[in-house]
Amino acid sequence: MKTENFRTFTASMIAVVTVISALVAWRAALASQDSGEADFRGLVATVNAEEAWVLSEIKVAEHYQAFLSYTRYTELGNKVYDALQAKPADASGLERQKSDSWGIAFGLQSLFFPSRYLLPDGTYDSQREMDELLADEQRARDTRAETHFEEGDNLRRKANLLVDMLILLGVSFWFFTLAQIIEHKAKILFAFAGGFLLAVGSFAALIIELVM
């Protein structure tokens, strides 16, 4: 009768191990799937970030090119103005040249680059413009790939650890089976070992599931 009860116990424990193993495998598969999705979100963010960089670079380069033309005509106007201060004989030609140069410079400044980035020393703060454009893009779109990749790595670690627990549960299953099929007194020891591994494996899987 005692033997029969023991067999019923080990059979029940084998069933419990099987069910817990299935649950752990399910959670591992889910974590693995989630890690793949996090990786994909990371790649989308990478594409967004790099696209934002290229588009901003093009915009800043275009503005800088317009700024260079603006500088060219402003400086030319300045030099002609300096020449006019000496009251030369051909003043009317120079006057027209100065007016044209400064006029073109004003037109370029009005239409082709934002004056906000002009610095008092006559240079153009293209780095600030670039940084601001990138900040705009970060606000408008997901460009932080590393966050997603970190999440993906964590989920992958979780899936690996859960699958590692399947080994403990497999060994537990093996001990219970051994306890089930042998007649020797050692079967108690095997059942104990199986129970211990079942407890450790299940507890560890629960902790992994809750913490990660």
Q: Which residues bind another protein (CB under 8 A)?
A: 28, 32, 35-36, 39, 42-43, 46-47, 50-51, 53-54, 57-58, 61-62, 64-65, 67-69, 71-72, 75-76, 79-80, 83, 123-124, 145, 149, 152-153, 156, 159-160, 163-164, 166-167, 169-171, 173-174, 176-178, 180-182
Q: Phi, psi at residue 118, to the nearest 5°? A: -75, 130
Q: Phi, psi at residue 141, to the nearest 5°? A: -135, 165
Q: Which SS3 state, helix, strand or coil, does residue 141 take? A: coil
Distance of closest approach, residue 12 Cβ to another protein, in angstroms: 16
* AA identity, residue 95: E
CA distances from 83 to 78, 91, 98 (A): 9, 9, 10
Distance of closest approach, residue 87 Cβ to another protein, in angstroms: 13
Distance of closest approach, residue 206 Cβ to another protein, in angstroms: 18
Q: Which SS3 state, helix, strand or coil, does residue 118 take? A: strand
- Which residues lie across from 124 on neighbouring strands? 118
Could you tell me if residue 34 is left (phi over 0), alpha (psi between -120 and 50 degrees) or otherwise beta? Answer: alpha
Q: Which SS3 state, helix, strand or coil, does residue 112 take? A: coil
Residue 53 vs 206, nearer CB to another protein = 53
Distance of closest approach, residue 188 Cβ to another protein, in angstroms: 17
Residue 115 vs 123, nearer CB to another protein = 123
Residue 212 to residue 207: CA distance in whole angstroms = 8
Distance of closest approach, residue 21 Cβ to another protein, in angstroms: 8
Residue 51 vs 131, nearer CB to another protein = 51
| CA atoms 204, 209, 211, 212: torsion sign | positive
Residue 154 vs 206, nearer CB to another protein = 154
Distance of closest approach, residue 2 Cβ to another protein, in angstroms: 19
Residue 178 vs 208, nearer CB to another protein = 178
Residue 181 vs 188, nearer CB to another protein = 181
